[in-house]
Structure 1
Amino acid sequence: MVKGIKNKIFNETDILDQLAIKNRDELKEIIFQGSFLVNSIDFCEGYNYYELSLTIPTKDDYIVLKKDCDKEIGYWIKGEKAEIRKRKEKLVNDKKFLEFSERCHRGHLIAKQLKYYTKLGDFNFSKNDPKNIYPQWENANINRAYGTSIRGQAYFETEIIKWLQEGVELFYYVKPIFKEGQEDYPIGNILIAFEREYLSLSELTNDEKNKRFCVFIPNYLDITSLT
């Protein structure tokens, strides 16, 4: 049974240590190798994610999300279960977290609940699509894991759906970030959402700033909350 969990949240040093990253400078370099030029990176204490200011990709790399979407809902196919299983086993074994294997999820890059807000044709939203599924620890995947304030990827997906229900049209982008030589599982995912193209935050109105984010969700497990 998990006890005392609200007082046992990982700090930034713990997270980077688990990811085998020395410091923020090394993290910035890894993200840069993933095709992003990071201008600044700030750790959100207590929520356990990073806010980024970076040179963003072109609009062509994003998907468009909107409430009233003339869409063709992606179909569900069998996919490649063996590949998904291999990736998960690799992460669990590399971190030596065999006793916590149930805490390792098949994490969606593009969440299946977003399929109702975009036209992606035959995109496979199932849990067996290697193009969209990578192993993701519970802390990185769900929101407020173990009753803490930690914001996983689900928090930002919920915010997106809330804005879409308000009639906001969004550009959305998700990219897994890998350490060199390891592509079975990412060290985390970058999530970007905004209402329109922009070159800098100074171009956004205050309302637009409240409906956008550019974050890095580290792929870690807060084992102090499970012991």
Structure 2
Amino acid sequence: MTNPSWLKIVLKIEQRHSGVFRDLVTLAACVCSSGQREDEYRRTAGKFTPEELCALCEAFGDLLRLKPEDPFLDLFGATYMERLSRHAQRHLGEVYTPGSVALLMPKMAMHPPEPGETLKVAEPAVGSGTLVLATAQALEDLGVSRLHMQVVATDLNPFAVDMALVNLGLASVPAVIRHGNSLTGQIFHEYPTPAWHFTSPYSGEPGTHRLQEGDVLGMLRLTALLPVRAVG
């Protein structure tokens, strides 16, 4: 598979900077965090020239374009694992679940929520969000909008939290993404996706509340502050 446009931009800027992939995900996560991370946005954006920031905005625009085309696409998981050394993969115990395998699991067990309820999903090791995206896809394949879900997803790796926040945020999946330790119960930070504020109980009628292509942008406008520019 050829590199998507956003990754080509990252690779070009990485000729002058290190860690641009991580910085792009961080900037995108700040935008999806409902205004909670403006200071972090400023610090991260301050690493780049105005021209480089424009290029990163173009990369973010490509992410916004890809999600309406396939809202259940994991934008980052494969790229992240390719960049992670085998030693780091073994040390961290991180593995990438292919999308086809991820989709098979919820399809084997999925059923719509009861009328008046939402489908509750807990993900103790969310990674980039592949399994949650697959669960949302399986639900929609039954004719039920993902707005009838309520997801609580946790990961100990803060970068995984950011990848999941962007993946689920731009997919309009109602979720709270938590940086924490599922084994000890410690929670350090938590971030609701824009769609979290639009969760609604299932009416019992398949096909209700179907999301349209522009809905994610509308949710972002209503829940997230406009990105700020770095000064200096």
Fold match by TM threshold 0.5: no
- What is the TM-score with the length of structure 2 in the denominator? 0.30
Write 1 or 2 for the structure with the bigger share of helix.
2
More strand by percentage: 1
